[in-house]
Amino acid sequence: MLNAWSFNLAPQRTACEGKPRIPHLSPSRRRACVDHVMTALCISERRACQVLGQHRSTQRRIPTTPDDEVALTADIIELARQYGRYGYRRITALLRRAGWTVNKKRVERIWRCEGLKVPAKQPKRGRLWLNDGSCIRLRPERPNHVWSYDFVADRTHDGKAFRMLCIIDEFSRESLAIRVARKLKATDVIEALCELFVSRGIPAHIRSDNGPEFVAVALRDWIAAVGAKTAYIEPGSPWENGYCESFNGKLRDELLNGEIFYTLKEAQIVIENWRRHYNTIRPHSSLGYRPPAPEALVWPAPKEIVKMHSLN
Protein backbone atom coordinates (compact mmCIF):
# COMPACT_ATOMS: atom_id res chain seq x y z
CA MET A 1 0.00 0.00 0.00
CA LEU A 2 1.34 3.44 -0.93
CA ASN A 3 1.88 5.95 1.83
CA ALA A 4 3.86 9.06 2.47
CA TRP A 5 6.85 7.00 3.71
CA SER A 6 7.05 4.70 0.70
CA PHE A 7 9.28 7.20 -1.12
CA ASN A 8 11.96 9.61 -0.11
CA LEU A 9 10.07 12.90 -0.15
CA ALA A 10 12.94 15.05 1.07
CA PRO A 11 13.34 18.06 -1.18
CA GLN A 12 16.12 17.49 -3.67
CA ARG A 13 17.54 20.22 -5.87
CA THR A 14 19.52 19.96 -9.00
CA ALA A 15 22.82 21.71 -9.69
CA CYS A 16 20.85 24.77 -10.67
CA GLU A 17 18.86 25.87 -7.61
CA GLY A 18 15.18 26.21 -8.27
CA LYS A 19 15.16 24.09 -11.44
CA PRO A 20 12.01 21.90 -11.53
CA ARG A 21 12.40 18.20 -10.83
CA ILE A 22 9.56 17.33 -13.26
CA PRO A 23 10.79 16.73 -16.81
CA HIS A 24 9.92 19.18 -19.57
CA LEU A 25 6.14 18.70 -19.68
CA SER A 26 3.28 20.98 -20.49
CA PRO A 27 1.70 22.89 -17.56
CA SER A 28 -1.43 20.73 -17.68
CA ARG A 29 0.63 17.55 -17.45
CA ARG A 30 2.67 18.94 -14.57
CA ARG A 31 -0.52 19.76 -12.69
CA ALA A 32 -1.80 16.26 -13.35
CA CYS A 33 1.48 14.82 -12.05
CA VAL A 34 1.17 16.76 -8.80
CA ASP A 35 -2.47 15.71 -8.39
CA HIS A 36 -1.52 12.07 -8.89
CA VAL A 37 1.19 12.24 -6.24
CA MET A 38 -1.19 13.93 -3.79
CA THR A 39 -3.84 11.25 -4.34
CA ALA A 40 -1.49 8.25 -4.34
CA LEU A 41 0.59 9.26 -1.30
CA CYS A 42 -2.08 11.21 0.62
CA ILE A 43 0.10 14.27 1.06
CA SER A 44 -0.66 17.96 0.91
CA GLU A 45 -0.40 20.14 -2.14
CA ARG A 46 2.36 22.20 -0.51
CA ARG A 47 4.48 19.09 0.08
CA ALA A 48 3.93 17.66 -3.41
CA CYS A 49 4.78 20.96 -5.10
CA GLN A 50 7.89 21.35 -2.94
CA VAL A 51 9.20 17.90 -3.83
CA LEU A 52 8.36 18.02 -7.53
CA GLY A 53 9.55 21.59 -8.01
CA GLN A 54 6.16 22.90 -9.07
CA HIS A 55 5.16 26.45 -8.16
CA ARG A 56 1.94 26.49 -6.17
CA SER A 57 0.62 29.41 -8.21
CA THR A 58 1.07 27.33 -11.35
CA GLN A 59 -0.63 24.37 -9.69
CA ARG A 60 -3.65 26.41 -8.61
CA ARG A 61 -4.01 28.34 -11.85
CA ILE A 62 -7.25 27.51 -13.64
CA PRO A 63 -6.50 27.12 -17.35
CA THR A 64 -8.68 29.21 -19.62
CA THR A 65 -9.51 28.44 -23.23
CA PRO A 66 -9.64 31.36 -25.68
CA ASP A 67 -13.05 32.17 -27.05
CA ASP A 68 -11.96 31.44 -30.62
CA GLU A 69 -10.32 28.08 -29.82
CA VAL A 70 -13.19 26.01 -31.21
CA ALA A 71 -13.44 28.00 -34.44
CA LEU A 72 -9.66 27.95 -34.92
CA THR A 73 -9.51 24.21 -34.33
CA ALA A 74 -12.28 23.66 -36.86
CA ASP A 75 -10.44 25.75 -39.45
CA ILE A 76 -7.18 23.88 -38.84
CA ILE A 77 -8.90 20.51 -39.23
CA GLU A 78 -10.64 21.67 -42.40
CA LEU A 79 -7.38 22.93 -43.92
CA ALA A 80 -5.61 19.72 -42.90
CA ARG A 81 -8.37 17.72 -44.56
CA GLN A 82 -8.23 19.84 -47.70
CA TYR A 83 -4.42 19.87 -47.90
CA GLY A 84 -3.49 16.52 -46.43
CA ARG A 85 0.26 16.84 -47.05
CA TYR A 86 0.71 20.31 -45.51
CA GLY A 87 2.36 20.70 -42.13
CA TYR A 88 1.33 23.13 -39.41
CA ARG A 89 3.66 25.85 -40.73
CA ARG A 90 1.91 26.01 -44.11
CA ILE A 91 -1.45 25.74 -42.34
CA THR A 92 -0.41 28.75 -40.23
CA ALA A 93 0.37 30.74 -43.37
CA LEU A 94 -3.05 29.87 -44.83
CA LEU A 95 -4.78 30.85 -41.58
CA ARG A 96 -3.03 34.24 -41.54
CA ARG A 97 -4.02 34.78 -45.14
CA ALA A 98 -7.62 34.00 -44.18
CA GLY A 99 -7.55 36.70 -41.48
CA TRP A 100 -6.51 34.81 -38.33
CA THR A 101 -4.00 36.51 -36.01
CA VAL A 102 -2.22 33.43 -34.74
CA ASN A 103 1.36 32.26 -34.31
CA LYS A 104 2.73 28.89 -35.35
CA LYS A 105 3.19 27.68 -31.74
CA ARG A 106 -0.53 27.84 -31.05
CA VAL A 107 -1.30 26.10 -34.34
CA GLU A 108 1.28 23.45 -33.53
CA ARG A 109 -0.30 22.83 -30.10
CA ILE A 110 -3.76 22.37 -31.61
CA TRP A 111 -2.25 20.33 -34.44
CA ARG A 112 -0.71 17.84 -32.01
CA CYS A 113 -3.69 17.76 -29.67
CA GLU A 114 -5.92 16.78 -32.60
CA GLY A 115 -3.51 14.01 -33.60
CA LEU A 116 -2.72 15.48 -37.00
CA LYS A 117 0.34 14.10 -38.74
CA VAL A 118 3.26 16.28 -39.71
CA PRO A 119 4.85 15.25 -43.05
CA ALA A 120 8.37 13.86 -42.83
CA LYS A 121 11.24 16.25 -43.36
CA GLN A 122 13.22 16.21 -46.55
CA PRO A 123 16.56 14.36 -46.17
CA LYS A 124 19.71 16.43 -46.35
CA ARG A 125 21.71 16.50 -49.58
CA GLY A 126 25.41 17.03 -49.98
CA ARG A 127 27.05 19.72 -52.08
CA LEU A 128 28.30 19.11 -55.59
CA TRP A 129 32.05 18.59 -55.40
CA LEU A 130 34.41 18.15 -58.32
CA ASN A 131 37.44 15.86 -58.37
CA ASP A 132 39.80 18.76 -57.64
CA GLY A 133 37.93 19.65 -54.45
CA SER A 134 36.08 22.69 -55.81
CA CYS A 135 32.33 23.14 -55.59
CA ILE A 136 30.20 24.10 -58.60
CA ARG A 137 26.53 24.94 -58.72
CA LEU A 138 24.68 27.18 -61.10
CA ARG A 139 22.54 29.24 -58.75
CA PRO A 140 19.59 31.32 -60.00
CA GLU A 141 20.08 35.03 -59.35
CA ARG A 142 16.93 36.56 -60.84
CA PRO A 143 13.72 35.55 -62.61
CA ASN A 144 14.31 34.07 -66.07
CA HIS A 145 17.92 33.32 -65.15
CA VAL A 146 17.70 29.53 -64.78
CA TRP A 147 14.80 27.36 -65.85
CA SER A 148 14.71 23.62 -65.34
CA TYR A 149 12.52 20.89 -66.74
CA ASP A 150 11.99 17.19 -66.22
CA PHE A 151 9.52 14.41 -66.96
CA VAL A 152 7.10 12.76 -64.52
CA ALA A 153 5.21 9.60 -65.43
CA ASP A 154 1.85 8.27 -64.22
CA ARG A 155 -1.03 6.09 -65.43
CA THR A 156 -4.73 6.51 -66.00
CA HIS A 157 -7.28 4.13 -64.50
CA ASP A 158 -7.11 1.78 -67.51
CA GLY A 159 -3.37 1.26 -66.97
CA LYS A 160 -2.20 3.38 -69.90
CA ALA A 161 0.83 5.53 -69.16
CA PHE A 162 1.10 9.27 -69.71
CA ARG A 163 3.92 11.73 -69.18
CA MET A 164 4.17 15.24 -67.78
CA LEU A 165 6.76 17.81 -68.82
CA CYS A 166 7.29 20.09 -65.81
CA ILE A 167 9.02 23.43 -66.41
CA ILE A 168 9.84 25.73 -63.48
CA ASP A 169 11.69 28.98 -62.81
CA GLU A 170 14.31 28.12 -60.19
CA PHE A 171 14.53 31.65 -58.78
CA SER A 172 10.82 32.35 -58.24
CA ARG A 173 9.88 28.63 -57.83
CA GLU A 174 6.99 29.28 -60.19
CA SER A 175 5.64 26.39 -62.23
CA LEU A 176 5.71 27.77 -65.75
CA ALA A 177 3.97 24.86 -67.46
CA ILE A 178 3.01 21.20 -67.07
CA ARG A 179 2.35 19.57 -70.44
CA VAL A 180 0.45 16.28 -70.20
CA ALA A 181 0.33 13.77 -73.06
CA ARG A 182 0.61 10.06 -73.75
CA LYS A 183 3.95 10.60 -75.47
CA LEU A 184 6.31 13.55 -75.33
CA LYS A 185 9.21 13.86 -77.74
CA ALA A 186 11.89 16.45 -78.42
CA THR A 187 9.55 18.31 -80.78
CA ASP A 188 6.96 18.56 -77.99
CA VAL A 189 9.62 19.99 -75.67
CA ILE A 190 10.53 22.60 -78.31
CA GLU A 191 6.85 23.51 -78.74
CA ALA A 192 6.36 23.94 -74.97
CA LEU A 193 9.50 26.07 -74.64
CA CYS A 194 8.53 28.16 -77.67
CA GLU A 195 5.20 29.12 -76.10
CA LEU A 196 6.94 30.14 -72.87
CA PHE A 197 9.67 32.08 -74.68
CA VAL A 198 7.02 34.14 -76.46
CA SER A 199 5.05 34.93 -73.30
CA ARG A 200 7.85 35.21 -70.72
CA GLY A 201 11.07 35.85 -72.58
CA ILE A 202 14.16 33.72 -73.09
CA PRO A 203 16.03 32.49 -69.98
CA ALA A 204 19.79 32.56 -69.69
CA HIS A 205 20.11 28.86 -68.82
CA ILE A 206 17.93 25.76 -69.02
CA ARG A 207 18.86 22.93 -66.65
CA SER A 208 17.92 19.30 -67.30
CA ASP A 209 19.12 15.74 -67.03
CA ASN A 210 20.56 13.73 -69.91
CA GLY A 211 17.32 12.17 -71.11
CA PRO A 212 17.04 11.44 -74.84
CA GLU A 213 14.44 14.19 -75.33
CA PHE A 214 16.71 16.81 -73.72
CA VAL A 215 19.98 15.86 -75.42
CA ALA A 216 18.46 15.63 -78.89
CA VAL A 217 20.44 17.55 -81.49
CA ALA A 218 17.36 19.40 -82.73
CA LEU A 219 16.54 20.67 -79.23
CA ARG A 220 20.11 21.74 -78.44
CA ASP A 221 20.51 23.54 -81.73
CA TRP A 222 17.18 25.32 -81.31
CA ILE A 223 18.01 26.47 -77.74
CA ALA A 224 21.40 27.75 -78.90
CA ALA A 225 19.77 29.53 -81.85
CA VAL A 226 17.39 31.51 -79.62
CA GLY A 227 20.25 32.61 -77.33
CA ALA A 228 19.85 30.38 -74.28
CA LYS A 229 22.36 27.93 -72.82
CA THR A 230 21.84 24.35 -71.72
CA ALA A 231 23.05 23.16 -68.30
CA TYR A 232 23.11 19.37 -68.17
CA ILE A 233 23.62 17.63 -64.86
CA GLU A 234 26.04 14.77 -64.34
CA PRO A 235 24.63 11.37 -65.35
CA GLY A 236 23.10 9.53 -62.40
CA SER A 237 23.01 12.66 -60.23
CA PRO A 238 19.37 13.81 -60.03
CA TRP A 239 20.09 15.93 -56.92
CA GLU A 240 21.95 18.37 -59.17
CA ASN A 241 18.53 19.26 -60.60
CA GLY A 242 17.21 19.75 -57.09
CA TYR A 243 14.64 22.49 -57.74
CA CYS A 244 12.80 20.47 -60.38
CA GLU A 245 13.13 17.21 -58.43
CA SER A 246 11.64 18.91 -55.38
CA PHE A 247 8.74 20.21 -57.46
CA ASN A 248 8.18 16.74 -58.95
CA GLY A 249 8.07 15.27 -55.46
CA LYS A 250 5.44 17.78 -54.34
CA LEU A 251 3.42 17.10 -57.50
CA ARG A 252 3.42 13.37 -56.84
CA ASP A 253 2.94 13.60 -53.09
CA GLU A 254 0.16 16.21 -53.04
CA LEU A 255 -1.71 15.28 -56.22
CA LEU A 256 -0.76 12.16 -58.17
CA ASN A 257 -0.69 9.79 -55.19
CA GLY A 258 -4.23 10.78 -54.21
CA GLU A 259 -5.98 11.00 -57.59
CA ILE A 260 -7.41 8.42 -60.00
CA PHE A 261 -7.50 9.72 -63.57
CA TYR A 262 -10.05 7.97 -65.80
CA THR A 263 -9.16 9.85 -68.97
CA LEU A 264 -6.21 11.84 -70.25
CA LYS A 265 -8.38 14.95 -70.52
CA GLU A 266 -9.31 14.69 -66.86
CA ALA A 267 -5.62 14.41 -65.96
CA GLN A 268 -4.80 17.53 -67.99
CA ILE A 269 -7.53 19.60 -66.31
CA VAL A 270 -6.82 18.44 -62.74
CA ILE A 271 -3.05 18.85 -63.09
CA GLU A 272 -3.44 22.34 -64.57
CA ASN A 273 -5.75 23.35 -61.70
CA TRP A 274 -3.16 22.08 -59.21
CA ARG A 275 -0.43 24.03 -61.02
CA ARG A 276 -2.43 27.26 -60.64
CA HIS A 277 -3.07 26.47 -56.99
CA TYR A 278 0.66 25.84 -56.50
CA ASN A 279 1.56 29.20 -58.05
CA THR A 280 -1.11 31.42 -56.48
CA ILE A 281 -2.22 29.88 -53.17
CA ARG A 282 0.11 27.17 -51.85
CA PRO A 283 2.59 28.61 -49.27
CA HIS A 284 6.20 27.88 -50.22
CA SER A 285 8.60 27.38 -47.30
CA SER A 286 11.65 28.80 -49.11
CA LEU A 287 9.71 31.98 -49.97
CA GLY A 288 8.68 32.81 -46.41
CA TYR A 289 5.47 30.78 -46.81
CA ARG A 290 4.26 32.95 -49.67
CA PRO A 291 3.07 31.54 -53.00
CA PRO A 292 5.50 31.77 -55.94
CA ALA A 293 3.19 33.88 -58.14
CA PRO A 294 0.21 35.28 -56.18
CA GLU A 295 -2.63 36.65 -58.22
CA ALA A 296 -2.54 40.43 -58.68
CA LEU A 297 -5.70 42.51 -58.70
CA VAL A 298 -6.15 44.72 -61.75
CA TRP A 299 -7.88 47.94 -60.71
CA PRO A 300 -10.16 49.21 -62.04
CA ALA A 301 -11.69 46.19 -63.68
CA PRO A 302 -12.33 46.33 -67.45
CA LYS A 303 -16.12 46.35 -67.03
CA GLU A 304 -15.88 49.28 -64.64
CA ILE A 305 -13.73 51.19 -67.11
CA VAL A 306 -16.37 50.72 -69.81
CA LYS A 307 -19.07 51.81 -67.39
CA MET A 308 -17.13 54.96 -66.41
CA HIS A 309 -16.62 55.92 -70.07
CA SER A 310 -20.30 55.35 -70.81
CA LEU A 311 -21.31 57.65 -67.96
CA ASN A 312 -18.98 60.36 -69.20
Residues in CB range of 229: below 8 A, 6 or more apart: 204, 205, 206, 223
Q: State mean pLDDT over 138-147.
A: 88
Question: In which band, very low, low, confident or very high, does the pLDDT at 296 lie, cut at 50, 70 and 90?
Answer: low
pLDDT higher at 231 or 306 = 231
pLDDT higher at 207 or 130 = 207
Count of C-beta atoms within a 10 Å radius of residue 176: 23
pLDDT per residue as tens digits for the range 207-256: 988 888 888 899 999 999 999 998 888 887 787 888 899 999 999 998 99
Tell me, what's the pLDDT at 87? 86
Q: Using CB atoms within 10 A of its CB, is residue 10 exposed (0-12), middle (13-18) or buried (19+)?
A: exposed
Whether pLDDT at 122 is above 70: no
Q: State mean pLDDT over 183-201.
A: 92
pTM: 0.64
pLDDT per residue as tens digits for the range 30-74: 888 899 999 999 999 999 998 888 888 888 888 777 888 889 999
Tell me, what's the pLDDT at 148? 93
pLDDT higher at 64 or 170 = 170
Query: Read out DSSP for 113-135?
Result: HTTPPPPPPPPP----B-TTS-B
Percentage of the chain lying above the pLDDT 90 cut:
41
Q: Provide the 3-class DSSP secondary structure of residue 73.
A: helix
Rg (alpha carbons) of the chain, rounded to whole number: 29
Name beta bridge partners: 69. none
- Vertex 199: Cα angle to 252 and 193 (nearest 5): 55
